[in-house]
Amino acid sequence: MDDIDRELIALLRDNARLPVVALAAKLRVARATVQNRIARLEAEGTIVGYTVRLRPAAEAHRIRAMTSIAVEGPHGAEVLRILRGHPNIVALHSTNGRWDLMAEIRTDSLEAFDKVLSTLRSIHGISNTETSLLLSTHKLA
């Protein structure tokens, strides 16, 4: 990956819907160069998808939380596999320190959130959790 690839990725992170022509102009390269680089980055698995970011107010009825998760010894891979497949976990991060994983959870109601949390706590290999509800968002990426 070179500087043009990094610049291209930064532009796509900011607005993945920019036309290839606009990306080429910003990068000062040919349109075909941009198309080829995007195709290569996708084929290599560097770019794995495109998404939509919503203002928090657009999802006013959504419950959002960060859950810190402690995993027992050798169960890390199994716990990760299960959590990756959970539809209410929108982001999953490994970390250092007291907690092994951080999971961002979203549900439509507190009742649904309670069920998700109960499900997480019952997963074999999870020894402890601590959850903080997200009340306000002050900065988006």
pTM as predicted: 0.62
CATH 1.10.10.10 in the chain, residues? 3-44
**Percent of the chain with pLDDT strictly greater than 90:** 75
CATH 3.30.70.920 in the chain, residues? 56-133
Model confidence pLDDT, tens digit, residues 59-99 = 655 899 999 999 998 999 999 999 999 989 999 999 999 99
Contacts (Cβ under 8 Å, ≥6 apart) of 50: 12, 16
Q: Using CA atoms, how far apart are residues 40 and 95, in angstroms rounded to an integer?
A: 30
Cα-Cα-Cα-Cα torsion 100, 50, 31, 37, nearest 10 degrees, comes to: 40
Distance (Å) of CA 60 to CA 4, 66, 87, 108: 38, 17, 19, 9
Sign of CA dihedral 98, 101, 104, 105: negative
Q: What topology does CATH give the domain 3-44? A: Arc Repressor Mutant, subunit A (1.10.10)
Q: Using CA atoms, how far apart are residues 76 and 79, in angstroms rounded to an integer?
A: 5
Place of tokens 């539809």: 87
Model confidence pLDDT, tens digit, residues 8-19 = 998 998 899 999
- Written out in words, the top-level CATH class of the domain with range 56-133 is alpha beta
